[in-house]
Amino acid sequence: MALVNWFKRRLVVISGLLTLGYLLLPNVVVTVFSFNQPKGRFNYEWQEFSTAAWTDPCGVADLCGSLSLSLQLAASATLGATVLGTMIAFALVRYRFRARGAVNSLIFLPMAMPEVVMAASLLTLFLNLGAQLGFWTILIAHIMFCLSFVVVAVKARVMSMDPRLEEAARDLYAGPVQTFVRVTLPIAAPGIAAGALLAFALSFDDFIITNFNAGSAVTFPMFVWGSAQRGTPVQINVIGTAMFLVAVLFVVAGMVVTNRRKKQKA
């Protein structure tokens, strides 16, 4: 009976942690299997321990090329989507204009559309226009679907900004450009950074839309997809694990820095 009570009181915690385990289990598998030495072409069964893949991450043809293409695409798409999205967010929060509802739905719809629909219709457009599929068509697509997410992230931040701060800057002899550079931008920065980070992650990890519009270009997710058919090299797991670790390290480092600053101030 005591056991049942103990269990009842911790039901939320236990089930929450089980879900967390469910979420992290594949990452554990990916990490463990990055040290595997598979016998066949596929890396699905444990054979023996090896660090071969870690010492030679680019040892598979086209793998690192696809990775660098994905990084380039993600960086360019992030830049494009962040600039365009930030402009829209400012216009939405700060100005009155006609057809506001239409603008809002045009921004919301890409987020409420299954990727495969956007992918297929964009391909239809490119085919009709006779566009050469490749880097540029992927970039166009990535900017398109990242844009709305940037708008949402930046809008939230700009909405919570006190418009009096900009008035104060203008009152203190800052012209429009200086006001934007010295006050508006620094204060909106966290929102813009969040939007940019989201855009980078979405673009880097996108498969469906890219797959439709890539032509002969191969991004990292497309490489993984192809290898699922041809054979999965261990290096895929190495790169997956490394990305996970880099992301966690970045976030933890960021938290440590903010914590220190807070402590210094206090």
Partner 1 sequence: MSTLAEAEAPPPLAPAPAVPTAKPPRKRGRWTPYLLLAPGLVWLLVFFAMPMVYQASTSVQTGSLEDGYRVTWHFATYWDALSEYYPQFLRSVLYAGSATVLCLLLGYPLAYLIAFRAGRWRNLILILVIAPFFTSFLIRTLAWKTILSDGGPVVGALDSLHVLDVTSWLGLTAGDRVLATPLAVVCGLTYNFLPFMILPLYTSLERIDGRLHEAAGDLYAKPFTTFRKVTFPLSMPGVVSGTLLTFIPASGDYVNAELLGSTNTAMIGNVIQSQFLRILDYPTAAALSFILMAAILVMVTVYIRKSGTEDLV
Partner 2 sequence: MTSKKSTENGSGDVRLSGIGKTYGSFTAVHPLDLTVPEGSFFALLGASGCGKTTTLRMIAGLEEPSCGTVSLGDQDVTNLPPYKRPVNTVFQSYALFPHLDIFENVAFGLRRRGIKGVKKQVEEMLELVQLGEQARKKPHQLSGGQQQRVAVARALINHPKVLLLDEPLGALDLKLRRQMQLELKRIQTEVGITFIHVTHDQEEAMTMADTVAVMNAGRVEQLGSPADLYENPHTTFVANFLGTSNLIEAEVDSVSGEEIVLKAGDVKLVLPEARCGAPTRTGGKILVGVRPEKITLTHADDAGEIPAGRNRITGTVAATSFIGVSTQYVIDSSVCPEFEVYVQNIDRDTRLVPGAEVVLHWNPAHTFGLDAAQSLLAGTAGSAGVEEEAAV
Question: Per CB under 8 A, which of residues 45..74 are in contact with partner 1?
Answer: 45
CB of 175 to partner 2, least distance (A): 5
Q: Contacting partner 2 (CB under 8 A), which of 25, 172, 248, 251?
A: 172
Contact status, residue 126 vs residue 138, Cβ threshold 8 Å: no
* Site size with partner 1, rule: CB under 8 A: 85
Contact status, residue 210 vs residue 218, Cβ threshold 8 Å: no
Q: Contacts with partner 1 in 145-204 (CB under 8 A)?
A: 147-148, 151, 173, 201, 204
CB of 10 to partner 1, least distance (A): 9
Is 160 a binding residue for partner 2 by CB under 8 A? The answer is no
Contact status, residue 18 vs residue 221, Cβ threshold 8 Å: no
Site string for partner 2, 103-142 (x = CB under 8 A): ----------------------------------------
Is 144 a binding residue for partner 1 by CB under 8 A? The answer is yes
CB of 125 to partner 1, least distance (A): 4
Residue type, 124: T
CB of 185 to partner 2, least distance (A): 10
CB of 155 to partner 2, least distance (A): 19
The structure tokens listed for 19 are 């879900």
Question: Which residues make Cβ contacts (< 8 Å) with residue 156, sequence separation at least 6?
Answer: 191
Is 259 a binding residue for partner 2 by CB under 8 A? The answer is no
d(CA 110, CA 151): 12
Q: Contacting partner 2 (CB under 8 A), which of 8, 96, 164, 230?
A: 164
Is 25 a binding residue for partner 1 by CB under 8 A? The answer is yes
Is 255 a binding residue for partner 1 by CB under 8 A? The answer is yes
Is 231 a binding residue for partner 1 by CB under 8 A? The answer is no
Q: At what angle do helices 100-108 and 63-94 cross, to 10 degrees?
A: 160
Contact status, residue 73 vs residue 145, Cβ threshold 8 Å: no
Q: Which does 159 bind (CB under 5 to 8 A by kind): partner 1, partner 2, none?
A: none
Is 173 a binding residue for partner 2 by CB under 8 A? The answer is yes
The structure tokens listed for 174 are 């800052």
Number of C-beta neighbours around residue 255 at 10 A: 10
Question: Which residues make Cβ contacts (< 8 Å) with residue 202, sequence separation at least 6?
Answer: 142, 145, 146, 149
Q: What is the DSSP letter of 262?
A: H
Name the phi and psi angles at 36, rounded to 5.
-90, 155
The candidate with the shortest Cα–Cα distance to 236, out of 57, 72, 61, 73, is 57
CB of 266 to partner 2, least distance (A): 9
Question: Residue numbers of the site for partner 2 (CB under 8 A)?
Answer: 162, 164-165, 167-175, 178-179, 182-183, 186-187, 265
